[in-house]
Amino acid sequence: MASETQSISGTLKRRGLMFVLSSPSGAGKTTISRKLLDADSAIRMSVSVTTRPIRPGEVDGKDYHFTDRATFDRKVENGEFLEWAEVFGNCYGTPVAQIAQGLEQGQDFLFDIDWQGTQQLSQRMRDDVVPVFLLPPSVEELRRRLTTRGTDSAEVIAGRMARAQSEISHWDGYDYVIVNDDVETCFAKVREILAAERMRRVRQNGLIGFVRELMKSDA
């Protein structure tokens, strides 16, 4: 009966997931994140708190919640972060409030966080985290992407390369690693991972009841 079918499928609520995209700068993470948010209305960006100064074009509350060091430290002490880390001299943290309730309601979140944050999330909420790492296709391409202006000095470029290489060294803390040699191919892979992860048994809260119904011999 139709009404019975509806009541069974109605129990199949899914728990949300935490989709983490990490990469060194120059591997195309920002482009992939934007494309994903545009293409998939079921995933929302987790907006971090940071002590880094706001950059031109950034919007407070959308790109980050910008704050000062004293306020950040107080939030750490009050346990307001799911994870936090110091990255290249600035502090970044994921506010706990928006996430916990969202996951419960089936909301997926996209995280642009570094390897330290990914490690903390994985330790705290392993079943909820889908950690994905993007790699640049080659050293030459990485250098090209990190050379933003013809005026960048050799020293500035060497500094960016060293940072990128130190971030790359944490690739093995991730379940998925994608070499981003073509944006569209990389994006397609990201979407495939997300689609498959949404179907994991652990995320399908109502399965036990649903399967019991299917197994009823008198149905």
What residues make contact with ligand 5GP under the rule CB under 6 A?
A: 48, 52, 83, 85, 87, 92-94, 112-114, 116-117
Shortest distance (Å) from residue 38 CB to ligand 5GP: 19
Query: Which residue number, 63 or 213, has a Cβ lying nearer to ligand 5GP?
Result: 63
Shortest distance (Å) from residue 26 CB to ligand 5GP: 11
As to burial, measured by CB atoms within 10 angstroms (0-12 exposed, 13-18 middle, 19+ buried), residue 34 is exposed
Query: Which residue number, 167 or 197, has a Cβ lying nearer to ligand 5GP?
Result: 167
How far is 111 from 4, CA to CA, in rounded Å?
Answer: 38
Task: Tally Cβ neighbours within 10 Å of residue 202.
Answer: 12
Shortest distance (Å) from residue 193 CB to ligand 5GP: 18
Cβ-contact 15, 205 below 8 angstroms:
yes
Shortest distance (Å) from residue 151 CB to ligand 5GP: 20
Query: Which residue number, 15 or 29, has a Cβ lying nearer to ligand 5GP?
Result: 29
Query: Which residue number, 161 or 207, has a Cβ lying nearer to ligand 5GP?
Result: 161
Shortest distance (Å) from residue 17 CB to ligand 5GP: 17
Q: Which residue is nearest to ligand 5GP (CB)?
A: 117
**Nearest Cα residue to 45 out of 16, 19, 22:** 19
Query: Which residue number, 28 or 93, has a Cβ lying nearer to ligand 5GP?
Result: 93
Shortest distance (Å) from residue 68 CB to ligand 5GP: 16
Query: Which residue number, 98 or 116, has a Cβ lying nearer to ligand 5GP?
Result: 116
Query: Which residue number, 108 or 112, has a Cβ lying nearer to ligand 5GP?
Result: 112
Handedness of CA 74, 78, 82, 86 (dihedral sign): positive
Q: Sheet of 129-135: strands edge to edge?
A: 43-45, 108-111, 18-22, 129-135, 176-179
Main-chain dihedrals φ then ψ at residue 108, nearest 5 degrees:
-95, 145
Shortest distance (Å) from residue 56 CB to ligand 5GP: 13
CA atoms within 13 A on the CB side of 44: 13
Cβ-contact 99, 16 below 8 angstroms:
no
Calculate ∠ Cα 198-116-195, nearest 5°: 10
